[in-house]
Structure formats: structure tokens, C-alpha cells
Amino acid sequence: MDEEGYRRYLRRKGKKEHVIDELLGGVRRYAAQLANRGVTLGDAADTDLAEYIAALGPLDKGGAKNELRAVALYYGYLGRQDLAQQASSVRGASVAATRRAFPLAALRGVDASLIARLHDLGIDNAAQMLAAGRTPADRERLAGQAEVATAAILELVKPSDLARLPGLKAVRARLYYDAGAETPAAIAAWEPEALLLALSEFVERTGFDGIAPLPKEVRSTVEAARKLAQVVKYEGA
């Protein structure tokens, strides 16, 4: 780790010395975890960073977010924009989602008993759900703790992911999810007109307890989905 170079980089960014010391500590801890697996900071891949993020635990806690900030800044210094963006995106999504703190119990069509089990594990809102179920390994681990199938956890992660989009909370998130647009990436792949038609047909065909969105709303949702950073790793993603 190039500590002196990183210090100079942070000073140029206007960071105070005590902040620099804290950021260096975060990078050292990350480097130590990588070293345990025989990986260096410069050689790390996105999967290495993902494992580190999972090991941090819930990102709604300040310490975990600070650790990610340190790593993001260090990879910015190294010129590894892929990993800098990965760390920043996960941290930013956690910050934004925590501010909204959309409760899992407000999601439509969820299993109340599972919500209660997750509550006992300290998971009550969409931000916490995304932090705890970000990767397949995270979801498998959480499923074991909650004593449910991994698929049941995924069925909460996806609408929690959708809830990061403006306007997609209780009813709307359930509509998009049930109609097959289960994630922000899936929404981003649609053309707005085609998605509006699919949603409208779904409501009409199934008698969904809610109305189809307006064209302007669907266009806005697709545009937002295309700009939204991916924070959840799904199978094959």
C-alpha cells in the first residue's frame, strides 16, 4: 500500500490529517483481509471487494459506510475506477436508502412471518435488506439464519431493490415485480412504451389491486433505472 502517495492524494482533496488517518486505517483493514486470501490491493477483483462488503455486515451502520468510503477513495487514487465505483455505489445506495428507510412491512404481498424473523435479525427496512442480501452468498447465509428458503430472501431483496427507484414503493413495486420487471436492471432493458403496455395488460388480465401507471411515470421510471447504479449481485449478473 502506497501510504504516502495516498496521503498526498487526500491532502489535495482537502482532507484533514485526522480524517486521513481514519481513511488509511480503513484501507489497511481492507488490505489485511485481502492478504489473508493472498490478494493485493492492486490485484483485487470485483468479487474480492464484494466479499469484503459482505464481511462488513449491515451498511446502515456508520462504521461500515466509512470503511467503504476509505476503499473507494483509495481505488480512486490507484485509478481503479471500476472498484472505486463499486464501493461508492454500494455506499451511496445504502446512504440514500437508509434516509428513506422504507419498511419491509409496507411492501405488498410479503410474508408477515418472514418479516418478523428478519426483524429479530435486525432487518426492518429496504436499506437493511439490500445490505444483508446483496450477493448470492449473503442471501444463502441470511436464509440459514432466518430458517427459510433462499428464494424467499430473494423475493424480498428484489422489491427492496426496486424501492430505490422514485415512486416504486408499496403498490408500484409489487406491480412491476409481479408483471416480470423484477429488478431495476430489468426495467432498464425495456422501452417505456412496451413496458407500459405490459403493465397495463397485466393489470387487466390479473385484476391486480391497483391501476397501471401513466405513460409519463413509466418513462421516468425507465430513465431512472438506466441511471441507477447496480448494488445487488443476482445470479449471472
Whether residues 90 and 111 share a domain: the answer is no
* Band of residue 44 on the pLDDT scale cut at 50, 70, 90: confident
pLDDT at 52 over 90: no
Domain boundary pick from 70, 100, 130: 100
Is residue 94 within 8 Å of residue 130, measured between CB atoms? yes
Give the predicted TM-score (pTM) of the model: 0.60
Whether residues 142 and 85 share a domain: the answer is no
The span from the CA of 43 to the CA of 166, in Å, is 37
The span from the CA of 131 to the CA of 113, in Å, is 20
Whether residues 85 and 145 share a domain: the answer is no
Comparing 31 with 200, the larger pLDDT belongs to 200
Domain count, the chain: 2
Whether residues 95 and 108 share a domain: the answer is no
Residue 221 domain flag = yes
Parent domain of 66: 3-100
Whether residues 40 and 87 share a domain: the answer is yes
Residue 237 domain flag = no
| Residue reference for cell 403498490 | 171
Residue 125 domain flag = yes
Per-residue pLDDT of 107-148, as tens digits, reads 888 888 999 999 999 898 888 898 889 899 999 999 999 999
Whether residues 91 and 140 share a domain: the answer is no
Whether residues 86 and 180 share a domain: the answer is no
176 class by beta-carbon count within 10 Å (0-12 exposed, 13-18 middle, 19+ buried): buried
pLDDT at 39 over 90: no
Closest C-alpha to 184, from 135, 237, 106: 237
Whether residues 172 and 60 share a domain: the answer is no
Is residue 110 within 8 Å of residue 104, measured between CB atoms? yes
The span from the CA of 121 to the CA of 146, in Å, is 8
Whether residues 66 and 165 share a domain: the answer is no
Domain boundary pick from 73, 100, 127: 100
Whether residues 128 and 204 share a domain: the answer is yes
The span from the CA of 23 to the CA of 68, in Å, is 9
Cell numbers given for 183: 429488478
The CATH number linked to 69 is 1.10.150
The span from the CA of 232 to the CA of 90, in Å, is 8
pLDDT for res 81? 83
Cell numbers given for 149: 428458503
Domain boundary pick from 100, 116, 151: 100
Comparing 140 with 18, the larger pLDDT belongs to 140
Whether residues 113 and 183 share a domain: the answer is yes
pLDDT for res 153? 95
Residue 45 domain flag = yes
pLDDT for res 221? 94
Whether residues 215 and 114 share a domain: the answer is yes
